[in-house]
Structure 1
Amino acid sequence: MDVTPVPVDLHWYSLPPGLRRLRRTLLLAVGVPLTVLVGVLLGVLADGGWALLALLPAALVAWGWRVIGRNWASWRFAEREDDLLLVHGVLWRRQLVVPYGRMQAVDVEAGPLERAFGVASVQLHTAAPFSAARIPGLLPAEAERLRDALAERGEARQAGL
């Protein structure tokens, strides 16, 4: 199956580092205590050699650190004249085109952790569920600008202007 190349002559926006920091912090918040817990439990309950199995969660944390960085770097979007182009993914690359005339609603979302790290997400709602899109990890001001621009363009396209 041939994949259409991503246009390079567009102005591409990438994600700021806040989302990467958030995901890596969550990884460390779970991975480090798990590594210590496994090491201590195996050291106390089993022979000291079994404590080396605590390196497995540590290796998974190191691998997850890299995966988060690569995934974050893969996100980009471009605002074209008639649609929004969204590209992301490392192993499974997804290229999504959302026509402005198909947008029904555009939301800006930020949970408590997202707000703590200074990021917000833009959620695009369309009539077809498979064409809905979410852009995570934007700066709140950029998310609001994008929401307003997409809503304005969507209204103009739906009105037939």
Structure 2
Amino acid sequence: MIVVVVAVGALVGFLVDHPWPWFVGGAIVLVTLVTLAFVPRRIRSIGYLLRDDDLLFRRGIMWQRFVAVPYGRMQLVDINRGPLARAFGLAELKFVTASPATGVTIPGLPLEEAEGLRDHLVSVAESRRTGL
């Protein structure tokens, strides 16, 4: 993407003979590079922990979000896979509860781990719901 932006900016800069295409192209390249530099840190900021009574989910770098979802409150555990995720063998696991505020999505899981976690959560949720 960066190569395309630089090529288009250079082409327009040479054709128009104004400095603004260089500034716009440079700004786009700079924003892209800064975004790419933060991707590994954003990936490390996502995590989950299976506890005895609930699932604890963590996300965020500056504004961190911790959500504890009790197993008995889970209504739906869904796996989503887009075309890019399928190409890399990844999946997104989504938990739905009665409260919209506790909706949790864990992106970037390997497919086998997502399927195993889904099966485990469904079985634990069923056993916890019978006691209610």
Task: Give TM-score, length-normalised by structure 1.
Answer: 0.75
- Where does structure 2 lack aligned partners over 5 or more consecutive residues? none
Task: State yes or no: 1:82 paired with 2:69.
Answer: no
Q: 1:147 is matched with which residue?
A: 118
Q: 1:52 is matched with which residue?
A: 22
Q: Give the secondary-structure state (helix, strand or coil) at the position aligned to 2:63.
A: coil
Higher relative contact order (CA 8 A, sep 6+): 1
- Identical amino acids, percent of aligned pairs: 36
* Residue pairs, 1:1-161, within 5 angstroms: 29=1, 31-47=2-18, 49-53=19-23, 54-160=25-131
1:117 offset after TM fit, Å?
Answer: 1.4
Say if 1:64 and 1:127 are closer, same or farther in 2 by CA, change over 3 A: same
Q: C-alpha distance in 1, partners of 2:98/2:43?
A: 28
> Considering only CA atoms, is the larger Rg found in Structure 1 or Structure 2?
2
Residue 113 of structure 1 aligns with an amino acid whose one-letter code is L
Q: C-alpha distance in 1, partners of 2:122/2:14?
A: 58
Contact 1:106 1:147 in 2 (8 A): yes
Q: C-alpha distance in 2, partners of 1:39/1:99?
A: 55
Q: C-alpha distance in 2, partners of 1:73/1:32?
A: 28
Say if 1:35 and 1:96 are closer, same or farther in 2 by CA, change over 3 A: farther
Contact 2:93 2:107 in 1 (8 A): yes
Task: Give TM-score, length-normalised by structure 2.
Answer: 0.90
Contact 1:43 1:50 in 2 (8 A): no
How many residues get paired? 131
Q: Give the secondary-structure state (helix, strand or coil) at the position aligned to 2:75.
A: strand
My pick for the range that moved more, 101-110 or 32-41, is: 32-41
| 1:61-112: CA deviation from partner (whole Å, max 9, x where unpaired) | 1101012222111111100011000111112111111110100010111111
